[in-house]
Chains A and B, each alone.
Chain A
Amino acid sequence: MPHRILVIGGGAAGIGAAGGVKAADPGNDVVVYTEFEDVGYSPCGIPYVHGKEIDSFERLFLAQKEAYVQAGIDVHYETRVNSIDLKRKVIDVVGEGEVRWDRLVIATGFDYGDPGVPGSDLAGLYYVKNIRRAMKWDKVLDTVKSAVVVHATPLGLEMTTALAHRGIETHLVDPQPWALADVVDPDIIAPVQESWLELGVNLHFNTTLKSFNGDRVLASVGTSDGEIPAGLAVICTHKQPNIRLAAQAGLKAGPTGGLVVDERMATSVPDVYAAGDCAELPHGLTRVGVSGLTGSHAYAQGKVAGFNAGGGTKRYQPVYVPWGTPAGKWVIGGASLGETLATALGMPFVVGRAEGISRARYYPGVKPIKIKLLAEPGQLRLIGAQMVGQEGIKERADFLATAVKFGLTLNDLAAMENVYSPAIGALNEPIALAAQDGVQNASRAG
C-alpha cells in the first residue's frame, strides 16, 4: 500500500532517500523539505571550483529541478521545518503548518563545529556548504590577498590546496601536530605538507585558534602562534551531526552525537528513519560508532532509508570507510584504520610498507605510490591501510576496504594477482609488495 513519506533535508542522503521511496513503490507520495534554494548538487565539488580545477558551479548540479518533478519527487525549497511530533505523526513547517506523514526520513546533515572564539560573527568567515553562497564567495576570493583555513580536516586540506592554486596567501591553522592527524599518519601526510610549502602555504600546526579580529569585517586571525592578517577565514572545523529537530522530538542519539539507527536505517522510533551525516553507523571492524562519513555513504544510506520507509526491505552494512582526497600535489587515501587510530584504540598490529610505482617504470607519467598495510599480529588479517601517491589511490582504497571487510590476510595480498600493462600498471603491485613486507615483519617478530 502506498505511503506518504516526508524527507527532511535535501542533501545526498535526502535525495537518495526520496529516490529510494519511489523505487520501493512508485505510488508512494514523497515530499522533500530543504532550507536551501537547490538540491541534487555536489557540495564536495565546491573547493575544486574555487581552485579553478572545475570551470563553473553549474557543473556540480546532478539534475535540474524539473527532473525531480518528473520523478514524482515534490521538493519544497527554502522551507524550514520547525518541529517533529512523533506521536501525532506530523511535522510543523514554516508557511505550511502541520503536515501529516506515515513515514519520516531525517537527513538533516551536519553543522560545522563552533570555532568557540571571539569574533565568530564578523563578516569574512566562510563556511563551505551551500552552492549559492559559494558562488558569491568565489567572487570574494578574487579580491582576497590573504586567507586562513581553520583546521586541517578533509575540507581544510581541499580548501588549503584550492586557495594556494588560486594564488592567495594561505595559512593553515590546526591544533594538531600534522594535517588530518586524527586520521592520517605522519609518514603519509609528510609529502603533502612539503608540497604545500612548495606552493607557498604557511603551515601553523600545534597552533590554537584564539580569535577573529576586525571591525565588523575580518582583518586578522589571532592564534597561539601570533596574529595573522587575513581578509578571509574558511571555517573547516569537524562536522557535527545536526540532530536539533530529532533530539527535540525525542529520538535517541549515540555517543558520536549522531542518531542511533539499525541496519534498516530505522531510528529508535517506529516509522522514522535517518541517514547521512546526522546518523551514527557502526565501524565493521571495531564495532565502534562513527559519523560524518562521505557523500557516497550518505547517498547509499539515504537509498536504504527511503526504500525501507517506502515499504521495501534493504539492509545497510557496517562501514569500513574507504577514503581519499587530493591534497597539495598528492593524493592520499586509505581504508579502515591507520597506525594513529589503531594506536589510539590500543589495537595490536603489524605493519607492512612499500614504495612502488603506478605504471611501468619506463612509461611517461609514472608516479610513485607509498603504501602501508596494518594487520592483526596472529592471523595477519588486514585491519587497515594508508597510501600517498598521485594516481590509482581511490581504486586501491576501495579494494582494500573490501579486503578488510572480507578478512583477507597479508598472505592473501602478498600473493595477489595484478594487472600488468605499462600505461596503467607496474609489474609489481605496490599492495602486494607492502603485504610481502608485512609478512616478513610478522615472521621476524615471531
Chain B
Amino acid sequence: MPVTHWLRDNAEHYLLVAAQERVGQRYGAPPPRRPRGPKELFWLRLFAPVYRLLPWALRSRVLRAMPGSHRQQWASWAQPPSRREPGV
C-alpha cells in the first residue's frame, strides 16, 4: 500500500473514532471502545489531539496538498458556481 493511502486510511479512521467520542458525548450515545495497543494509542491519543490543535486553514492546506484526483483539472473550482441575476 502506498504511503499516502496508508496515511489516509489510518488518519481518516482514527480521526473518525475521535470524532465519534466527542459527538457521541453530545447526544448521550455510547463512546467507541477504549484504544488498545501502541498503534491505537498513537493515533487516538497523539495524532488526533495534535491534528485538532492545528487551525482549520492549515489543516485544509495540508489536505489539499496531498496527491489525488483533487489535484487534477476541475474547471468548476476555477469558476465556482455563483449567484446569477434572473434571466428575465
A residues whose Cβ falls under 8 Å from a Cβ of B: 175-178, 181-182, 185-187, 190, 205-206, 253-258, 260-264, 279-284, 286-289, 315, 317-318, 339-341, 343-348, 405-407
Q: Which residue of A lies closest to B55 (CB)?
A: A346
Query: Is B24 a contact partner of A254 (Cβ separation < 8 A)?
Result: no
In the bound complex, CA of A175 to CA of B45 (Å): 19
Nearest Cβ on chain B to A56's Cβ, whole angstroms:
39
Tell whether, in the assembled complex, residue B32 and residue A344 are in contact, meaning their CB atoms are under 8 Å apart: no
Q: Known pairs A255-B66, A288-B63, A346-B52; list 8 more (Cβ under 8 Å).
A: A178-B24, A254-B68, A255-B67, A287-B60, A287-B70, A287-B77, A343-B19, A346-B59
**Contacting pair B72 A261 (CB below 8 A):** yes
A178 in contact with B29 given A185-B23, A346-B54 (CB within 8 Å): yes
Are B63 and A254 within 8 A (Cβ)?
no
Which single residue of chain A is at the shortest CB-CB distance from B12? Answer: A344
Which A-chain residue is minimally distant from B81 (CB atoms)?
A: A406
> A-facing mask of B62-81, CB < 8 A → 1, else 0?
01101111111111110011
Contact A261 B29 (CB under 8 A): no
Q: Chain B interface (Cβ within 8 Å of chain A)?
A: 1-2, 4-5, 7-8, 12, 15-20, 22-24, 26-27, 29-33, 51-52, 54, 56, 59-60, 63-64, 66-77, 80-83
Q: Is the CB of B64 within 8 A of A287?
A: yes
A-B contact pairs, 18 of them (CB 8 A): A177-B20, A177-B31, A185-B23, A254-B67, A255-B7, A262-B73, A263-B72, A280-B68, A282-B70, A282-B74, A287-B63, A288-B63, A288-B64, A317-B74, A317-B76, A318-B76, A341-B16, A344-B16
> B51 contacts A346, CB within 8 Å?
yes
Do B4 and A254 touch (CB < 8 A)? yes
- Which one of B16, B22, B56, B75 has the greatest number of beta carbons of chain A within 10 Å? B16
Residues of A within 8 A of B29 (CB): 177-178, 186-187, 190
A339 touches B23 (CB 8 A): yes
- Contact between A256 and B5 (Cβ–Cβ < 8 Å)? yes
Measured between beta carbons, the chain B residues less than 8 angstroms from A264 are: 73
Q: Are B32 and A260 in contact (CB under 8 A)?
A: no
Distance, CA A190 to CA B81, complexed state (A):
36
What chain A residues lie within 8 Å of B5 (beta carbons)?
Answer: 253-257
Cβ contacts under 8 Å, B7 to chain A: 255
Task: With A315-B76, A317-B74, A318-B77 as known contacts, state yes or no: A177 contacts B32, CB within 8 Å.
Answer: yes
Contacts of A205 in B (CB 8 A): 30
Q: Closest B residue to A224 by CB, please name it.
A: B33
Q: How far is the CA of A289 from the CA of B5 in the complex (A)?
A: 11
B33 x A289 contact (CB < 8 A)? no
What's the least CB distance linking A321 to chain B, in Å?
Answer: 14
- Complex formed: what's the CA distance from A337 to B30 in Å? 21
Closest to A247 in B: B2
Q: Do residues B81 and A345 form an inter-chain contact, with CB atoms below 8 A?
A: no
Closest Cβ neighbor of A256 among chain B residues: B8
Write out the residue numbers on chain A whose beta carbons fall within 8 Å of the beta carbon of B17. 176
- Asked if residues A186 and B23 are in contact (CB atoms below 8 Å), the reply is yes
On chain B, the residues within 8 Å of A190 by CB distance are: 27, 29
Task: Indicate if the CB atoms of A405 and B30 lie closer than 8 Å.
Answer: no
Q: Give the distance in Å from the alpha carbon of A406 to the alpha carbon of B63 in the complex.
A: 22
B86 nearest CB across to chain A (Å): 15
Q: Bound complex: CA of A406 vs CA of B80, how far in Å?
A: 8
How many Å lie between the Cα of A347 and that of B54 in the bound state? 11
* A176 partner residues in chain B, CB cutoff 8 A: 17, 20, 32
Q: Flag if A340 contacts B68 (CB, 8 Å).
A: no
CB < 8 Å neighbour of A346 from B56, B69, B75: B56
